[in-house]
Structure 1
Amino acid sequence: MTEVEASSGNVYEDFATPNANEMRVKSQLAAKIGEIIKARHLTQVQASEILGLSQPKLSEMLRGKFRGISEAKMMECLSLLGRDVQIVVKSAPRSRKEGLIEVVFA
């Protein structure tokens, strides 16, 4: 019988990836950037011109290789693609010692 282990909800954390939370956030931002590019029927060349990234850098980001791209740059990309980006800081529940960083798309 195959043993199954429940996920923490963060695949990067499950595989003990360094900076797991940052990687999860970046993956969510990259996925949304990719969705918008696809919905607008943009080529990677067209999108890279809009975003101020080289086409190879954009391609890498969309394939999950985004270690060299900051979260701030990814949020700027969303803005350049016509999306409002808000950062909301609020108190964490007392049941948790640390705050939570998450991406919520409206």
Structure 2
Amino acid sequence: MADVLIALGGNVGDVRTTFRKAIANICGMTQAALVARSSDYSTPPWGDQQQDSFINACIEIETSLDPHALLFTLHKIETKFGRDRKTEQRWGPRTLDLDLIAYD
């Protein structure tokens, strides 16, 4: 099992509810165990500053997926929650942003 850190972010809709549902999806779709979850914290937008502040958090999971399969799954979860990486602005609003921070 690999120990993994994943950052979560968003500033569109009910972000805290999105995080709760996304974490459940992450654990279910990656057959992972949730080890830890940070508190939520707010950060100002970067780049396009004419948008709401972001809510952010970080989770630690244990998974048997390799890094590429995990990243593929995280992108599928983002899409499920309304993110479209092909049409969004680089620094624009997000329903959900999942970043693979550290793997094992």
**TM-score by shorter chain over 0.5:** no
Q: Which has the higher strand share?
A: 2
Q: Which has the higher helix share?
A: 1
Higher RCO, 1 or 2 (CA under 8 Å, sep at least 6)?
2
| TM-score using structure 2 length | 0.32
